[in-house]
Amino acid sequence: GGGYRPKYTKLKTLLEDEFPGDLEISGESTPRTSGWFEVEVNGKLVHSKKNGDGFVDSDQKMAKIVSAIEKSIGK
């Protein structure tokens, strides 16, 4: 529960801590409660709640996003 904002804020904080100064993270809420929670890295969709990935609620999902960011910024 708690909706979109707390989950987005938690993920944003985790990623900013992992990649200080390297990311520009933005969010946009939708009129519906469930939203379309998606993560894009350089225009490439790497996580989509709408497409069945759910929220970023496991180490595996977080690792997938971190890996995509690392590839994108050359770390």
Query: What is the value of pTM for the model shown?
Result: 0.73
CATH code of the domain containing 20? 3.40.30.10
Give the separation between CA 14 and CA 49, rounded to whole angstroms.
18
> Based on the structure, what is the number of domains in the chain?
1
In the structure, what pLDDT confidence band is assigned to residue 17 with cuts at 50, 70 and 90?
very high
The residue segments making up the domain with residue 35 are 4-73
Q: Is the pLDDT of residue 1 over 60?
A: no
Its sign, for the CA torsion 40, 45, 51, 57, is: negative
Residue 64's Cβ-count burial label (10 Å; 0-12, 13-18, 19+) is: middle
Residue 47 has φ and ψ, to the nearest 5°, of: -155, 130
Q: Residue 60's pLDDT is what?
A: 94
- pLDDT, tens digit, 9 for 90 and up, residues 26-70: 877 666 655 677 888 888 888 888 888 888 889 999 999 999 999
